[in-house]
Amino acid sequence: MWYVDEERLEHIAIGAGILGTGGGGNPYYGKLHVRRLLREGARIPVVSLDEVPDDALVVSVGGMGAPTVGIERIHRGDEPLVALRALEEHLGRRATHLIPGEIGGANSTRPMAISAMTGLPVIDADGMGRAFPELQMDTFAIYGVSSTPAALADIYHNVVLFPRLADALTLERYARAVTVQMGGAAGYAFPAMSGAEAKRTAVPMTLSLAEAAGAAVRRARREHADPVAAVLRVTGGQVVFRGKVIDVQRRLVAGFARGVVELDGLGDDRGSRMRIDFQNENLIARRDGDVVVVVPDLICLVDAETAEPVTTEVVRYGLRVAVLGIPAPALLKTPQALAVVGPAAFGYPEIEYRPLPGIYGGDRLVGERDGTEPSWPRSG
Amino acid sequence: MRIGIDVGGTNTDAVLLEGREVISWAKRPTTPNVTDGIRAALQAVLSGTDVAPRDIGAVMIGTTHFTNAVVQRRELDRIAAVRLGLPATQAIPPLTDWPDELREAVAGLVRLLPGGHQFDGREIAPLDRAAVDQLIAELRAEGIDTVAVSAVFSPAVPDHERAIGAWLREALPGVHLTLSHEIGRLGLLERENAAALNACLNTLARRTISAFTRALAELGIEAPLYLSQNDGTLMAAGFAARYPVLTFASGPTNSMRGAAALSGIADAVVLDVGGTTTDGGVLVNGFPREASFEVEVGGVRTNFRMPDVVSVGLGGGSLVTADGGRVGPQSVGYRLTEEALIFGGRTLTASDIAVAAGRASFGDPARARSLPVDLVQRALSVIDGRLSELVDALKTSPDPVPVVVVGGGSVLVPDEIEGASVVVRPPYAEVANAIGAAIAQVSGEVDRVFSLEGRSRDAVLAEAKAEAERLAVEAGADPATVSVVEVDEIPLAYLPSTAVRIRVKAVGNLRGV
């Protein structure tokens, strides 16, 4: 077990921004909230999956909605807690552990705030190992954890409870509609699962990964070393392109910001072009027409000098960036997972997922800790 | 005729313009109170011409005075920061992320009250008259007469900010208000920060700008006074006295706009070579390309649009090592005319190298001629390499681009740079900032969330453009010259409803000058 302090919080926010792969919302706002709670004396314990008893009641909490609403209508703070309490009431049991649904972006920090308010430990794991636009895309749903009961709460503490829905995709549709009525952003509590289910389905050690990635960036900046190389040593993966943004196109398709970023090569990549397709998050990277990185592998745009993440909302003409290709967590590479988070699921049936070489940093951390080569998914 | 003035850290420059023609220019030292330097520069630029003060149609001043006050934490007012957003936004109270010493210096009162709006225009909560009355009592008790007000989604729906503003004015005559929707865009914390910084500068701004006005009057200039804003456009002095925060980062913008006007090139890389640094920027359609990240001013995060400037430690005063292998980033700065070899000093500087190589001739060139040829060559290749790297980093296409060079250290720049189609050194390049201030236009801007429910995208865009054009005319633009220079639309991600955030900027020439 370890505790989140202000320094680790800073690191997690940087690392979560990078793992957001262009989306996921800005962790800055959640970070300020958690920092205030820490300064008021709160403690935020973090436990590893292995420390969670099989009969624990683990609940994923966080926020859903539009990042543009999130930067303007700052959250009240306790919306996910209100949702959690409603879920507990429905289940007739109290939660014992919290888990982030999505380590990439804003939802890396929200469970920490709820931990600070309740004293419940946060599990060092999440449901994506990155960010994805829709909630059926988490490993909990992919590996069979029931998405309902599920609860949403708004800034007025209104609660909407979904006792039973057919599947995660149905929840995605219904919850999204309710979120709009809740002013474009809401706190959520779902899914609820046993400790055993969390161990079987969650992507392990991703809070540690975000923390280590952020720490590496800050150390490199301080020592005037290369922050981009420092990130990759932690996350795994490689720089697949360096260049300048020469065009950005965005359009609204079925409630999502879809678009294309075009880059013109610099340095060793001079003379080449890269085109990145995104739907909130970056999906496909093509170099001179050849596909080089495909979802669920992570495509992260970072400032070429500082490794500051560049989201699909702020990316614009003239930015100088490095494009990182980071291998996906092993749990996202199974046929079962690829059916939900592979290229076909995002409307690219013609593109084959060919995994990047290497190991996702979180999986490597597990291997180092256990002294074993990572092999996922775990049976159980 | 108009006069443009740039108040820099070292010099205050003034130019007298007839249309786009430079009649005269002058450089005088910047003074601690700023006004004396401006008066001296004004007198100098008019002397030797037959232009009478009454012939001046407008005076434009670009100054970093207010930015510096924030950075140096001096002459700032104690304020109240009031946010309308309850029950939302409690997670992060106003001024949370400010440097502690700045918050303690200025934050007399921080309050969160019910109010604000949702993205679709519904009220989050109605204004609470009793809570506002209690706020008024607290302001009286604390003796605070400067208030920054922010409300959720006020750029889209300013009603609550306006209503509480009216109540405060009624109860506290003479209260100084900054309403966030008047100065910022979407992004509550950043807009609120800008509003609070603006409020802190209230006394300083009113005093400074009335001193500027007085200086003009003393010289018999009756023309209206304008100040330059961060986006390269102008605001009237009376407006600037209320919104000093909008002057932040006007310096680099003026320099690039001046470069565009002097060279007649609208799309180019601009290098502003000073004594210590070279600032590089990009002109797109005659305006500086803007930075895409949030910009911190004095440790406070704001979301002003600032020009995207890349600075390197290379200028006329940069120190050169004895073997010529390193140039800068250390610099003799403004002591160039005492310390450089060509001025009889003992320090080898980039200016000495430029003179030795024949790129320039000033000071005493004979003193530079004795420098070893290989030293000069090595230092030149370092300088040229840095400049071509900078140009390359700024360019957005592999094709060669025109490079416009301005600033006092522009003699360092060679006539050919890798990646440059042409190197242009316009006349009056040393006063490009002041010229940029003089030729600035006025603008109107719209940035808010529009619903596409039952309406076409074209209709919504047309509405936004018309509103931006109307705002530009209200700001003083000649309607015949107003045009839309920027349209940006960002769909609201993760929501299936058809809402889109649209930003439109329109600019036009100042009426009647």
Output the CA–CA distances (angstroms, integers) from residue A142 to A203, A231, A366, in the order listed: 12, 28, 21
Output the CA–CA distances (angstroms, integers) from residue B406 to A165, B23, B312, B315, B397, in the order listed: 66, 19, 15, 12, 22
Strand pairing of A57-65 and A97-99? parallel
CB contact under 8 A, B92 and A29: yes
List the structure tokens of B352.
């000495």
What is the per-residue pLDDT for A139?
98
Contacts 24+ apart (CB under 8 A), A287-290: A287/A240, A287/A241
- Measure in Å the smallest separation between the Cα of A317 and chain B Cα atoms: 8
- Measure in Å the smallest separation between the Cα of B177 and chain A Cα atoms: 21
Q: Does some domain include residue B358? A: yes
* Residues with Cβ within 8 Å of residue B240, at least 6 apart in sequence: B205, B209, B226, B227, B246, B247
Instruction: Select from A252, A279, A316 the residue whose CB has the most chain B CBs within 10 Å, as the one to mutate to test that interface.
Output: A252
Residue with tokens 């420098």: B371
Distance CA B274, CA B351 (A): 11
CB contact under 8 A, A257 and B496: no
- Measure in Å the smallest separation between the Cα of B448 and chain A Cα atoms: 11
Three-state DSSP at B446 gives strand
Q: What is the CATH number of the domain that holds B329?
A: 3.30.420
* Furthest CA-CA distance within chain B: 80
Assess B308–A contact: CB distance below 8 Å, yes or no: yes
What is the per-residue pLDDT for B491?
60
Assess B118–A contact: CB distance below 8 Å, yes or no: yes
Q: Are residues B299 and B353 in the same domain?
A: yes
The answer to whether B148 and B82 are in contact (CB under 8 A) is: yes
Q: Which amino acid is present at B96?
A: T
Enumerate the residues of chain A whose CB falls inside 8 A of the CB of residue B455. none
How many domains, in total, are found in chain B? Answer: 3
CB contact under 8 A, B119 and A68: yes
Q: Are residues B272 and B387 in the same domain?
A: yes
The domain boundary, picked from B427, B449, B475, lies at B427
Sign of the CA dihedral with A178 first, then A181, A186, and A187 last: negative
Q: Are residues B396 and B493 in the same domain?
A: no
Distance CA B203, CA B178 (A): 13
Q: Does some domain include residue B162? A: yes
Enumerate the residues of chain A whose CB falls inside 8 A of the CB of residue B186. 68, 71-72
List the structure tokens of B427.
């006349």
Residue B331 pLDDT class (50, 70, 90 cuts): confident
Q: Does some domain include residue B404? A: yes
Total Cβ atoms within 10 A of residue A164: 10
Enumerate the residues of chain A whose CB falls inside 8 A of the CB of residue B501. 68
Assess A250–B contact: CB distance below 8 Å, yes or no: yes
Q: Are residues B308 and B193 in the same domain?
A: no
B128-160 pLDDT per residue, tens: 999 999 999 999 999 999 999 999 999 888 899
Output the CA–CA distances (angstroms, integers) from residue B440 to A127, B232, B449, B483, in the order listed: 53, 6, 29, 14
Per-residue pLDDT, averaged over B411-426, amounts to 92
Assess A260–B contact: CB distance below 8 Å, yes or no: no
Assess A104–B contact: CB distance below 8 Å, yes or no: no
Assess B116–A contact: CB distance below 8 Å, yes or no: yes
| Tally: H helices and E strands in chain B | 15, 23
Sign of the CA dihedral with A205 first, then A207, A208, and A212 last: positive
Q: Does some domain include residue B370? A: yes
What is the per-residue pLDDT for B303?
77
Identify the domain containing residue B187 by its residue range: 79-200
Q: Does some domain include residue B241? A: no
What is the per-residue pLDDT for A377?
43
Enumerate the residues of chain A whose CB falls inside 8 A of the CB of residue B489. 250
Assess A314–B contact: CB distance below 8 Å, yes or no: yes
Per-residue pLDDT, averaged over B218-241, amounts to 90
Assess B311–A contact: CB distance below 8 Å, yes or no: no
Q: Are residues B88 and B153 in the same domain?
A: yes
Output the CA–CA distances (angstroms, integers) from residue B393 to A243, B199, B280, B399, in the order listed: 9, 37, 9, 13
Residue with tokens 């950075």: B71
CB pairs under 8 A between A and B: 151
CB contact under 8 A, B398 and A271: yes
Enumerate the residues of chain A whose CB falls inside 8 A of the CB of residue B289. 317-318
Q: Does some domain include residue B38? A: no
Q: Does some domain include residue B260? A: no
CB contact under 8 A, B396 and A72: no
Q: Are residues B270 and B417 in the same domain?
A: yes
Return residues 209-248 of A near B (CB < 8 Å).
Answer: 244-246
Residue B309 scores a pLDDT above 90 = no
Among chain B residues, CA nearest to A321: B393
Q: Are residues B182 and B330 in the same domain?
A: no
pTM for this entry: 0.86
| Predicted complex ipTM | 0.91
Residue B492 pLDDT class (50, 70, 90 cuts): low
Enumerate the residues of chain B whose CB falls inside 8 A of the CB of residue A32. 91-92, 96-97, 189
CB contact under 8 A, B292 and A308: no
- Measure in Å the smallest separation between the Cα of B220 and chain A Cα atoms: 46
Q: Are residues B181 and B306 in the same domain?
A: no
What is the per-residue pLDDT for B332?
85
Strand order in the sheet with B176-179: B107-114, B79-86, B146-151, B176-179
What is the per-residue pLDDT for A88?
98
Angle ∠(B446,B449,B450) on CA atoms, nearest 5: 95
Q: Are residues B192 and B319 in the same domain?
A: no
CB contact under 8 A, B498 and A252: yes
Return residues 391-410 of B near A (CB < 8 Å).
Answer: 392-398
| Domains (range + CATH), chain A | 2-204 (3.40.1610.10), 227-366 (2.40.390.10)
Enumerate the residues of chain A whose CB falls inside 8 A of the CB of residue B394. 318
How many percent of chain B have pLDDT more than 70? 97
* Residues with Cβ within 8 Å of residue B231, at least 6 apart in sequence: B253, B305, B443, B445, B505
Enumerate the residues of chain B whose CB falls inside 8 A of the CB of residue A177. 496
Q: Are residues B276 and B348 in the same domain?
A: yes
The domain boundary, picked from B368, B397, B427, lies at B427
Q: What are the 10-residue block averages of pLDDT along chain A, 380 residues in total?
A: 97 97 92 97 97 98 89 96 98 98 96 98 98 94 97 98 97 94 95 98 98 96 89 97 86 73 91 94 97 98 90 78 97 97 96 96 92 50
Q: Are residues B422 and B294 in the same domain?
A: yes
Q: What are phi and psi of B42, to 5 degrees?
A: -60, -45
Q: Does some domain include residue B24? A: no
- Closest partner residue to B308 among A156, A315, A318, by Cβ? A318
Q: Are residues B339 and B414 in the same domain?
A: yes
List the structure tokens of B46.
């008019």
The domain boundary, picked from B377, B402, B427, lies at B427
- DSSP 8-state symbol, A182: T
What is the per-residue pLDDT for A195?
98
CB contact under 8 A, A66 and B494: yes
Enumerate the residues of chain A whose CB falls inside 8 A of the CB of residue B89. 73-76
Q: How far apart are the first and last CA of chain A?
A: 24
Q: Which amino acid is present at B110?
A: V
Assess A183–B contact: CB distance below 8 Å, yes or no: yes
- Closest partner residue to A314 among B116, B120, B292, by Cβ? B292
Enumerate the residues of chain A whose CB falls inside 8 A of the CB of residue B486. none
What is the per-residue pLDDT for A240?
97
List the structure tokens of A249.
């196109």
Buried b (16+ CB within 10 A) or exposed e, A172-181: bebbbebbbe
Closest CA to A343 of A287, A279, A267: A279
